[in-house]
Amino acid sequence: MTIQAQIEVLESLAAIDAELKGLSDALSQEREALEGKKSHLAELDARLARGEKSIEEMERTRNDLHAELRQMSSQIEKSREKLTRCRTEREANAVQRELEELRKLYRDREIEIEKLDVLIDQARGEVQQVSSERQTLAGELGAIEGDVTSRLGDAEKQLAEKTSQRNGLIGKIQPGLYRRYELVRKRRGTALAWTHDGTCSACHMRLQPMLFQRLTRGDEFGQCPSCNRILYFRRDVPEGADRADAAGTQSSGP
Ligand SMILES: [Zn+2]
């Protein structure tokens, strides 16, 4: 296989890799956005469940306190009756103390109930707020999920097609050259660069004259000493690319 043929295959591979990178970046962005909304929704659901559970618990406690109050007021009633039946002052004083003690306990519970009323109202307000936030988010998700899912499906199909095209190309490249290509691509994002006037098209470093001379003979690949990309010589600058910008070998994705 001539070096020219190898260059053509490598250029096609570099173009496919640029497309693949763009596709997989877009895919992961879409996925992340969707997953972000879904996990926010799950978080809101958890907060709602916690809020409702705590309201339930507080209401149960409040019911217990009300039951105690009813019991106490009948005890107070009984003590009052007892007071009317007292014959001695000593007896009456004892019942009076009992009554005071009961009334104090009664008031304590009333205060507890008032505090619970406030807390339950607060918790209900929070639950309502979270619930309306959840409703908005669920609406948004419902509106976009179908679109996003179908876009994801399309992109995955394209990704699979490009990957199989890529696999076809790999078979045409010398294994050693492909290993070098992959090694640099994994580190740099792109692995192929060219030179026309003695500078690297990817990193723009000026090459040593000896290396440039060797490359101009056009019978071997070189390696940029600065960015390690695979280098070859081009007689003309490709259309649409100025010297500082090699087609298909830009380091940034589309
Ligand atoms: Zn370079």
C-alpha 191 to ligand 1 mean position (Å): 9
CA of 101 to the centre of ligand 1 (A): 91
Mean pLDDT within 121-126: 97
Q: What is the pLDDT of residue 244?
A: 46
Single-letter amino acid code for the residue at 25: D
Check whether 253 has a pLDDT greater than 80. Answer: no
Distance 246 CA to ligand 1 centre (A): 11
Q: Which two tokens stand for residue 100?
A: 């005071």
How far is Cα 212 from Cα 63, in angstroms, rounded to an integer? 90
DSSP classification of residue 237:
P
Residue 192 Cα to ligand 1 midpoint, Å, equals 9
203 phi and psi, to 5 degrees? -110, -5
Q: What is the mean pLDDT of residues 81-102?
A: 94
Helices (H) and strands (E) in the chain, counts: 4, 3
> How far is ligand 1, taken at its centre, from the CA of residue 170, in Å?
23
Q: What's the distance, Cα to Cα, between the start and end of the chain in Å?
A: 31
Is-contact 51 126, C-beta < 8 A? yes
Whether the CB-CB separation of 96 and 83 falls below 8 Å is answered with: yes
Q: Ligand 1 mean position to 230 CA, how many Å?
A: 8
Helix ranges (H only) for 205-249 are 209-216
The radius of gyration computed from the CA coordinates of the chain, to the nearest angstrom, equals: 40
The total of other beta-carbon atoms located within 10 Å of residue 171's CB is: 9
Q: How far is the CA of 223 from the centre of ligand 1 (A)?
A: 8
Cα-to-centroid distance, 199 and ligand 1 (Å): 8
- Tens of pLDDT, residue by residue over 2-16, are 888 999 999 999 999
Q: How many CB atoms lie within 10 A of CB 73?
A: 13
For 206-237, what is each residue's pLDDT tens digit?
Answer: 999 999 999 999 889 999 999 999 999 999 88
Our CA dihedral for 161, 166, 172, 178, rounded to 10 degrees, sits at -170
- Each residue's pLDDT tens digit, 170-197: 999 999 999 999 999 999 999 999 999 9
Round to whole Å and give the CA distance between 154 and 160: 10
DSSP readout, 111-162? HHHHHHHHHHHHHHHHHHHHHHHHHHHHHHHHHHHHHHHHHHHHHHHHHHHH
pLDDT score recorded for residue 241: 66
Going from the Cα of 33 to the center of ligand 1, the distance in angstroms, rounded, reads 35
Smallest Cα–Cα separation from 196: which of 230, 246, 251?
A: 246
CA distances (Å), origin 160, targets 62, 136, 138: 62, 36, 32
* Average pLDDT of every residue of the chain: 91
What is the SS3 assignment for 193?
strand
Report CA-CA distances (Å) from 116 to 60, 63, 108, 128, 159: 11, 11, 12, 18, 58
